[in-house]
């Protein structure tokens, strides 16, 4: 079976008798427009609508070229028109997107959720309290977590894209630290960079060791005994995964995993930054440690994209009655864990053709 998640048309196509464009007369339905609507729905706590827009955006991403209104309607399905609502259907999508982008709430929510450590709930609370700017936040002495303080302090750097070269430098830095502590341990660049993206919002690194058990505590080498000044912020968590607990229920906490990990901010030396007053930049780094037996699952899970992972896990559950997460693959019909030594083997277990990382950007 050849399958790329997010490209399968939703199950309920619009009735073909409808000659009207389901997304408004102007039909300026772009991926970007849909992503804005997804974001706005997320800000309002409408997860279902947000997901419908995200799915629709990735359908557009997968379909090259301009679509006719009719094709568009068929590709996107009626779920989307329901999500858009009647007023938008009448006025057109681009009018709605402009309205959203100009609204004070959207702009403020966007500003706040770009602070490391601030989610929709916190941003929404601040908005309700009348806070509108980053200066407001500081002047009103708003209570901030240690993570949010670091996020505010490095706001500009953390919202400047990380270039591939910078990600590779950080990979090498971590590799050196890890090697000194545990020879033979490896560091793998995951996340968007593994999918071939030229820049990203952070650096995702996966650590392991070929001998199971040796990897335990590896993070302390990098995060807890910091080479002075390299780490500006770190929050570590121990491994809390136990195989004997059995698989997580499908649809449960399928994005979060329980590896030993460290969410951090590194201080990266950069030379000749144009216009920069200082020779360094703050960069968000996620470090994750996986035992070698779970490594392929961790790699698959941490390579993303989030949308790809969501669709792949949904496929595993619905089509194969298997539970896939970043630790294991569990077959609920055979009642057993399916081991894998590579990502390729996981796709084989799922009865799918291998999808290389560069094709997981949906
Ligand atoms: P991100 O780093 O958030 O996203 P990205 O690397 O695809 O894009 P960018 O950083 O450039 O914005 O997440 C990478 C993958 O890690 C994503 O597929 C989800 C996964 N992930 C987990 O599995 N568990 C977690 O707790 C988190 C935060 C991410
Ligand atoms: Mn990333
Ligand atoms: Mn991201
Ligand atoms: Mn990340």
Per the model's pLDDT, the better-predicted residue between 82 and 239 turns out to be: 239
Pocket lining: 201 vs ligand 1, CB cutoff 6 Å:
yes
| pLDDT at residue 348, as a whole number | 98
| pLDDT at residue 356, as a whole number | 98
What number is the average pLDDT over the span 76-81?
60
How far apart CA 270 and CA 169 sit, in angstroms, is: 10
Q: How many CB atoms lie within 10 A of CB 44?
A: 15
| pLDDT at residue 230, as a whole number | 81
* Element holding 207 (H helix, E strand): strand 203-208
Residues with CB under 5 A from ligand 4 (ion): 202, 204, 286
The length of the chain is 362
Which residue has its alpha carbon closest to ligand 1 atom 21?
302
Mutate to test the pocket of ligand 1, among 188, 204, 286 (most ligand atoms within 8 A of CB): 204
Three-state helix/strand/coil letters over 234-245: EEEECCCCCHHH
Task: Identify the DSSP state of 67.
Answer: P
How far apart CA 79 and CA 11 sit, in angstroms, is: 9
Pocket lining: 301 vs ligand 1, CB cutoff 6 Å:
yes
- Of the given ranges (14-18, 263-267, 274-278, 349-353), which has the lowest mean pLDDT? 14-18
Task: Kindly indicate the confidence band of residue 271, based on its pLDDT and cuts at 50, 70 and 90.
Answer: confident
Q: Tell me how far the alpha carbon of residue 333 lies from the centroid of ligand 2, in angstroms.
A: 34
Residue 158 C-beta-side C-alpha neighbours within 13 Å: 24
Tokens of 314: 């949904």
pLDDT beyond 60 at 12:
no
Pocket lining: 254 vs ligand 1, CB cutoff 6 Å:
no
| pLDDT at residue 107, as a whole number | 97
- Of the given ranges (73-82, 151-160, 279-288, 346-355), which has the lowest mean pLDDT? 73-82
Residues in contact with 320: Cβ distance below 8 Å, sequence separation at least 6, in sequence order: 331, 350, 351
Q: Are 265 and 282 in contact, with CB atoms under 8 Å apart?
A: yes
pLDDT beyond 70 at 63:
no
Task: Kindly indicate the confidence band of residue 274, based on its pLDDT and cuts at 50, 70 and 90.
Answer: low
Mean pLDDT of the chain, nearest integer = 84
Q: Tell me how far the alpha carbon of residue 92 lies from the centroid of ligand 4, in angstroms.
A: 35
Q: Tell me how far the alpha carbon of residue 129 lies from the centroid of ligand 2, in angstroms.
A: 31
Q: Which residue has the tokens 């912020």?
A: 233
| pLDDT at residue 362, as a whole number | 82
How far apart CA 150 and CA 250 sit, in angstroms, is: 35
How far apart CA 87 and CA 265 sit, in angstroms, is: 44
Q: Are 42 and 50 in contact, with CB atoms under 8 Å apart?
A: yes
Task: Kindly indicate the confidence band of residue 31, based on its pLDDT and cuts at 50, 70 and 90.
Answer: confident
The ligand that comes nearest to the alpha carbon of residue 114 is: 3
Condensed to tens digits (0 to 9), the pLDDT of residues 301-343 reads: 999 999 999 999 999 999 999 999 999 999 999 999 999 999 9
What number is the average pLDDT over the span 133-137?
95
The CA distances from residue 157 to 15, 27, 222, 346, in Å, are 49, 37, 22, 37
So which residues are the catalytic ones?
Answer: 202, 204, 286
């Amino acid at each position: 079976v050849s399958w790329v998640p997010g490209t399968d048309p939703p199950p309920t196509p619009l009735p073909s008798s409808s000659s009207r464009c389901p997304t408004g007369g102007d039909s300026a339905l772009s991926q970007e427009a849909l992503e804005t609507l997804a974001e706005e729905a997320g800000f309002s706590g409408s997860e279902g609508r947000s997901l419908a827009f995200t799915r629709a955006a990735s359908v557009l991403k997968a379909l090259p070229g301009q679509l006719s209104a009719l094709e568009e309607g068929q590709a996107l399905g009626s779920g989307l028109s329901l999500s858009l609502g009647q007023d938008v259907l009448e006025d057109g999508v681009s009018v709605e997107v402009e309205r959203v982008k100009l609204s004070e709430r959207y702009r403020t929510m966007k500003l706040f959720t770009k602070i490391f450590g601030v989610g929709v709930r916190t941003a929404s609370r601040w908005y309700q309290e009348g806070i509108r700017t980053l200066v407001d936040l500081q002047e009103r002495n708003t209570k901030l977590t240690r993570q949010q303080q670091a996020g505010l302090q490095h706001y500009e750097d953390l919202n400047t894209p990380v270039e591939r070269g910078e990600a590779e430098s950080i990979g090498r830095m971590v590799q050196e630290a890890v090697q000194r502590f545990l020879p033979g341990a490896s560091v793998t660049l995951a996340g968007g960079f593994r999918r071939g993206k030229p820049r990203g919002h952070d650096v995702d690194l996966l650590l392991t060791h070929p001998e199971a058990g040796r990897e335990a505590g590896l993070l302390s080498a990098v995060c807890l005994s910091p080479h002075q000044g390299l780490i500006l912020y770190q929050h570590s968590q121990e491994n809390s995964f136990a195989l004997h607990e059995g698989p997580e229920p499908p649809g449960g906490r399928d994005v979060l995993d329980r590896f030993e990990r460290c969410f951090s901010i590194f201080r990266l030396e950069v030379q000749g930054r144009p216009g920069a007053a200082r020779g360094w930049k703050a960069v968000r780094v996620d470090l994750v440690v996986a035992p070698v037996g779970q490594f392929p699952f961790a790699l698959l899970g941490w390579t993303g994209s989030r949308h790809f992972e969501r669709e792949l896990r949904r496929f595993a559950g619905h089509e194969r009655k298997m539970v896939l997460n970043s630790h294991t693959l569990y077959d609920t019909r055979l009642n057993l864990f399916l081991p894998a030594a590579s990502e390729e083997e996981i796709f084989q277990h799922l009865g799918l053709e291998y999808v290389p990382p560069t094709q997981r950007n949906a």
